[in-house]
Amino acid sequence: MASKNPLPAEETLDPQNWESLRALGHRMLDDMLDYLKTVRERPAWRHIPEQVKAQFNQPLPLDPQPPEEIYQEFLENVLPYPVGNIHPRFWGWVFGTGTALAAFAELLAASMNTNAGGLDHHSAVHVEKQVIDWFKQMLGFPASASGLLTSGCSAANLIGLAVARDIKAGFDVRRDGIPGASRKMMLYASQEIHSSVQKAVELLGLGSDALRYVPVNDDFQIDLQALKATITQDRQDGHLPFCVVGAAGTTNTGAIDDLNALADICQRENVWLHVDGAFGAWGVLAPGVRSQLAGMERADSLAFDLHKWMYMPYEIGCVLVRHEEEHRKAFSLTPAYLTHGEGGRGMTGGDLPWFCDYGFQLSRGFRALKAWMSLKEHGSRRYARLIQQNIDQVRYLAGLIDASPQLELSAPVTLNVVCFRYLEPGLDEGGLDALNKQILTELHEQGIAVPSGTIIRGKYVLRVAHTNHRSRRDDFDILVREVIRIGKELALAIEPA
Ligand SMILES: Cc1ncc(COP(=O)(O)O)c(C=O)c1O
């Protein structure tokens, strides 16, 4: 019987015309391959013009716009103004470069739109377990360790430190919170440790005062005597030393702490060893530096990224925890609506744990796919060659700097970071700082190259952190040549004092 009030038509977000979206999709793939292929022909960075910025100040779209038009806006207003880290002369901060196949993997993962937080018997969890097993093997962790892919190393540090806090507290932190502590819980790291460690300490409710910044030696490694003395003093003061955070490659200079010595100290003191190996952990693949990372495999937890030195597109990091049950104890929480691991058949009848038992996220993307495809595409041997190549290239750069009277190295080059500055006779330290800052700005503004800047021993320096698979030796020739050219030009314009 026909209804008097017909039901409204139903909608979906699927394309109304699959064939036209298919054509657009093919165009996008072609365009992106061309974009990657021709990256060297574009400036390393350029400003986003004011009129383009204004395009991102528009009213909320209320009605549909054709995908072709949206893509055109992307081509005009988004694509031409990236931060630039896919460029062969981008070496600022610590940015990765990505690869073409891994970009396609993102499309595949997003099309499947899998939630890798849990559930059994679906492919994404097996892919993630597989890549974590490969990482354990590559980084010398035992097969029995647990692991979780994360958004990056900040999240990986947070998770590792949360496990350390809960396991070493001596009371139920999850129930009682930090007010349950009878002694102040203390952590130790070098003054060069990354800021994400302090952020994690703050988020964990320990307070930034709980993080003791230990001085470094001339090679920017944690001073072991100072570390031991600080731990002893804290015990005498009635505190609870519970964790040391070792650096496997500091952000400023790439320094690697003596990780075996840290592991010995932690064992003696019964404290947790967490290692931040954001990019440096991958130095183990390179025969030239592997021995400097000895001891990393003894850590209780290890945080690292894949979007820096393993060249995978953002975002992907990972945390490994030596004892799986400790990892799970810190995070597992199973309300009725997430019951799992009870055996039997179906989507919830598989093995414990789910990945949500190892971290704070329940819903999680299928990050593992790009890692799985990348590792298969290149193989660990090619990654090892690339990482060694990057190390050799920064040594080449250090050689160019050493051979240039206008330049000076500002810190030892141990891994993939080079800190250096331009010298101008007659300028005092303040003048040199200002000049080097200007040189950096000109390198960026002229689109030549993107190093970043930092302060080393109180002096402003240029800093190259190399995790770029596209760079060639002649890119470093260009950098050195241009730093000297710009330095000379700027110095000419400085009024004599
Ligand atoms: C040594 C170190 N640790 C941690 C981090 C934070 O990693 P992410 O940016 O992936 O969160 C970085 C970032 O550069 C780093 O260099």
- 174-187 pLDDT tens trace: 999 998 999 999 99
The Cα–Cα gap between 418 and 451 comes to 10
CA of 187 to the centre of ligand 1 (A): 19
CA of 303 to the centre of ligand 1 (A): 9
Which pLDDT score is estimated for 448?
Answer: 98
**Candidate of 154, 275, 467 to mutate for ligand 1, largest count of ligand atoms within 8 Å of Cβ:** 154
Tens-digit pLDDT profile for residues 136-192: 999 999 999 999 999 999 999 999 999 999 999 999 999 999 989 999 999 999 999
CA of 113 to the centre of ligand 1 (A): 27
- Residue 351: pLDDT band (50, 70, 90) is confident
Tens-digit pLDDT profile for residues 14-35: 999 999 999 999 999 999 999 9
Q: Examine the pLDDT at 346 and tell me if it is beyond 90.
A: no
The Cα–Cα gap between 328 and 355 comes to 9
Q: Give the long-range contacts of residues 286-292, CB within 8 A, separation 24 or more.
A: 286/384, 286/387, 286/388, 286/391, 287/384, 287/388, 288/388, 288/391, 288/392, 289/256, 289/391, 289/414, 289/415, 292/256, 292/414, 292/415
Average of per-residue pLDDT values in the chain? 96
CA of 309 to the centre of ligand 1 (A): 11
Looking at residues 252-281, what average pLDDT do you find?
Answer: 98
What is the number of the ligand 1 atom nearest to the C-alpha of 315? 10
Looking at residues 116-134, what average pLDDT do you find?
Answer: 94
CA of 94 to the centre of ligand 1 (A): 8
Task: Give whole-number Cα distances, 296 to 120, 246, 261, 335, in Å.
Answer: 32, 9, 10, 36
CA of 153 to the centre of ligand 1 (A): 5
Which pLDDT score is estimated for 3?
Answer: 61
What is the number of the ligand 1 atom nearest to the C-alpha of 249? 1
Residues lining ligand 1, Cβ inside 6 A: 94, 152-154, 194, 196, 251, 276, 278, 305, 317
CA of 313 to the centre of ligand 1 (A): 15
The Cα–Cα gap between 448 and 482 comes to 8
Atom 5 of ligand 1: nearest residue by CA position: 153
**Candidate of 197, 203, 251 to mutate for ligand 1, largest count of ligand atoms within 8 Å of Cβ:** 251
Q: Examine the pLDDT at 2 and tell me if it is beyond 70.
A: no
Residue 249 and residue 278 in contact, taking contact as beta carbons nearer than 8 Å: yes
- Residue 495: pLDDT band (50, 70, 90) is low
What is the number of the ligand 1 atom nearest to the C-alpha of 307? 10
Domains, the chain, with CATH or none: 18-46+81-96+379-497 (3.90.1150.170), 115-365 (3.40.640.10)
Tens-digit pLDDT profile for residues 59-84: 999 999 999 999 999 999 999 999 99
- State pTM to two decimals: 0.97
Residue 45 and residue 27 in contact, taking contact as beta carbons nearer than 8 Å: no
